[in-house]
A and B are shown apart, each in its own frame.
Chain A
């Protein structure tokens, strides 16, 4: 079942600009994660934000989480051509005590950064 849905589906920006991607989900979550996928490769974990956190930073990445709106955003500042990739949000909706095994991934945002 699809939990996270990213918006927009595709985004094209100039190098140096900021890129913002959004993710909406439907049920309560333990945490939300963002992953990156270069073309034809596996996914790489970028950042995790827990349900009791509102904002988190990692280098040029900034993630926000609004549990009341069931939404998250990923901001990449000062984008580079090397940031060109697909970005996925993934939600962990498992209940406490049941173990955190599964993530549910959205369909992704394809980001193109033009040099």
Chain B
């Protein structure tokens, strides 16, 4: 059974803290993605990676960075958390295929920044 796991389901941090969100997939997927989901705004892509050590900015990369040192792991880093980064964070992965790029999602991390 394919699986994407995220390190925490719920996280509470204080403004200014450095926050690490971890995502691991066991499907040997090349592509990995980080989204944030907010009411009324849908899913917005923060960063994605199509290979180890490669990263590309998505639609809203400001305030975030990522790390992909191993194929199965993709980390999202909030360098200095702010209250407007309170959100649901979703990680996903997919194969690098021609026309069947179905994404598999983790359960999400609900982050609250106080």
> Size class of A's contact patch?
20 to 34
Which residue of the partner chain, among A40, A48, A90, contacts B100 with CB atoms under 8 Å?
Answer: A48
Residue numbers of B with Cβ under 8 A of A are 4, 31, 33, 35, 40-43, 45, 48, 50, 56, 58-59, 88, 90, 92, 94, 96-108, 110
Q: Is the CB of A41 within 8 A of B45?
A: no
User: Chain B residues near A41 (CB, 8 Å)?
Assistant: 107-108
- With most chain A CB atoms within 10 A of its CB, the pick from B59, B88, B100, B102 is B102
What sequence of 0s and 1s flags, for each residue 97-109 of chain A, a beta carbon within 8 Å of any chain B beta carbon? 0011111111110
16 more contacts with CB within 8 A, not counting A101-B31, A102-B58, are: A1-B59, A31-B101, A40-B108, A42-B92, A42-B105, A43-B90, A44-B105, A45-B104, A48-B100, A90-B103, A99-B50, A100-B98, A101-B50, A101-B96, A103-B103, A105-B35
A2 at the interface (CB under 8 A from B): yes
